[in-house]
Amino acid sequence: ILLNCAGKEDEDYIKPQLHVKNPHLDSMEEDILYHFSLGTKTHNLPEMFGDVKFVCVGGSGNRMRAFAKFMHQELGLPGNTDEITDICEGTDRYSMYKVGPVLSISHGMGVPSISIMLHEMIKLLHHAGCHDVNLFRLGTSGGVGISPGTVVITDKAVDCFFRPQFEQVILGKVIIRSTELDADLAEELSQYASEMPELPTVIGKTMCTSDFYEGQGRLDGALCSFSTEEKVEYLRKAYNAGVRNIEMESTVFAAMCHMCNLKAAVVCVTLLNRFDGDQISTPHEVLTEYQQRPQNLVAHFIKKRLGLI
Ligand code: R2B
Ligand code: URA
């Protein structure tokens, strides 16, 4: 008897299969995951990663190492957390840590950076024969009309026109992909969040932009071609369209996971309310505590799934 996605016993349950959508992959003798410094000939990927069930990604390498150490404690795994080493130490592009069934990977800032990481991470899961994997992006973001420190669970990732789609230029043509996320996963996360009073959470749309400054309507970049009123009008429009936070990776994360049949969720804490300003002036200790919040929620989720709580 297998456990289904909800962790229940189910005889008829069919494991969700990861679909890499590339017919060329099978005919390749070797696949070098260049930015991870891993490969199918140099590493035994099924042995190293075959048991992965949860992949958590976030911008910074240090934050993802901290998350791995935190998960090590939360899962009550044996050994010292100082022994958790970067699997991608052969490259300084991304960092990767594995603790039990949890893989914690950094993706850098912005769509191109996370997209490269996702191609290689999804192929890694494929080569390792993983199935039934849940993916989470644990991030930071700017809040739209909500208090700093609020965690936003994304129901739809939208582009800067508030459309639930991701545009990729392929061979000179614009290809549009859906940014649908797993509704059950978001609902389950929201349910757990409601049991955690120290974790203010909302479900809302997340807008993904390709710039932190002008692209997010900031007045404090090196360039700014619009007025304060125009900024506020844009944020107001975003709010009315259901946008509750702004970050820089969610659309491609959602689109690639959706295409590959991976259940995915985006959980980002807001560092400021963009109606109140643009600069992130919150003290470091407060920001550190905020950044722990998505981690706490996802750790709770993982422990529930593993039957530890
Ligand atoms: C959130 O924070 C970063 C910009 O400061 C970016 O990676 C994002 O999505
Ligand atoms: N990350 C973003 O992309 N925007 C913010 O305002 C804060 C963090």
pLDDT in tens, 20-45: 999 999 999 999 999 999 999 999 99
- Round to whole Å and give the CA distance between 16 and 5: 9
- Measure the CA–CA gap between 4 and 10, rounded to whole angstroms: 6
Average pLDDT over residues 261-266: 98
pLDDT tens per residue, range 205-228: 999 999 999 999 999 999 999 999
The pTM of this model reads: 0.95
Evaluate if residue 128 carries a pLDDT over 60. yes
Beta bridge partners of 201: 151
> Which of helix, strand or coil describes residue 72?
helix
What is the β-pairing status of strands 102-106 and 96-99? antiparallel
For residue 8, pLDDT beyond 90: no
Secondary structure of residue 145 in the 3-state scheme: coil
Per-residue pLDDT band at 10 (split at 50, 70, 90): low
- Mutating to test ligand 2, I would choose from 140, 269, 281, 286 the residue with most ligand atoms within 8 A of its C-beta, which is 140
pLDDT score recorded for residue 7: 52
The pLDDT, as a whole number, for residue 16 is: 74
> Ligand 2, from 248, 266, 269, 286: best to mutate by most atoms within 8 Å of Cβ?
248
Number of Cα atoms under 13 Å in the Cβ half of residue 309: 11
The ipTM (two decimal places) reads 0.99
Q: Decide: 4 and 12 in contact? Cβ < 8 Å.
A: no
pLDDT tens, residue by residue, 48-85: 999 999 999 999 999 999 999 999 999 999 999 999 99
Distance, in Å, from the CA atom of 84 to the CA atom of 102, rounded to the nearest integer, reads 12
Residue nearest (by alpha carbon) to ligand 1 atom 3: 109
231/250 Cα distance (integer angstroms)? 22
What angle (nearest 5°) sits at the alpha carbon of residue 158, between those of residues 291 and 235?
A: 75
Could you tell me whether strands 54-58 and 102-106 are parallel, antiparallel, or unpaired per DSSP bridges?
parallel
Element (H, E) at 119: helix 111-127
Rounded Cα gap, residues 97 and 270, in angstroms:
25
